[in-house]
Amino acid sequence: MIKIENSIPTDKETITQFQNKVRLKLPNDYIAFLERYNGGYPEPCIIHMKVTSRREVESSCIRSFFGFGLENGDELAENYGFYRKFIPKESIPICCDSDGNVILMSLSIENYCEIYLWNHERAPEHRAELHELQYITDSFTDFLNRIVPYDPDTADMNENDLISIWIHPDFDKIINGDI
């Protein structure tokens, strides 16, 4: 079960004002999430995604969900204002991962409630279309249900994935008890 850490509440009026501002209708499960948690920091935080090409991400760690009146870059309205130039029309950013990517929700009639990953390293230079993003799932509720704890025993890593690692000489001394 996912736990969300956030101590700043919101209300229906704030959510309604946001919907009116962006001229989009939020799905009921997302509204209920905002009313209950108003964004915040999830634990656990790993979301696994279906990969259909080498350019796609297998999993990601959700850093925070966006909400109202939040600091540290987690304000939903501010993120919408910033990302709306880059993400597909009729979509909103709902959270970000630890790599700086944005998870967004489509609010278009054709793809209502679908969740996508907007990878900032692979983002097109123009406003993205949904087909250019990595599909995650078809609803916010399913997205929440797919968040799991990190398990190093199930991490999909081959012995050849790590070619080398550099360790600062002072850190090496600390690890080996030489300092």
- Per-residue pLDDT of 100-129, as tens digits, reads 999 999 999 999 999 999 988 888 888 888
pLDDT at residue 163 in the model: 59
Distance CA 15, CA 92 (A): 13
Distance CA 123, CA 128 (A): 7
Report the candidate in 83, 104, 5, 18 with the shortest Cα–Cα distance to residue 45: 5
Average pLDDT of span 93-104: 94
Domain range spanning residue 57? 3-175
pTM of the model: 0.82
Average pLDDT of span 144-165: 72
Highest mean pLDDT among 7-11, 14-18, 123-127: 14-18
CATH code of residue 56:
3.40.1580.10
| pLDDT tens per residue, range 31-70 | 999 999 999 999 888 888 888 888 888 888 999 999 999 9
> Based on the structure, what is the number of domains in the chain?
1
pLDDT at residue 18 in the model: 97
Distance CA 111, CA 130 (A): 9
Average pLDDT of span 141-148: 92
Confirm if 91 and 107 have CB atoms less than 8 A apart.
yes
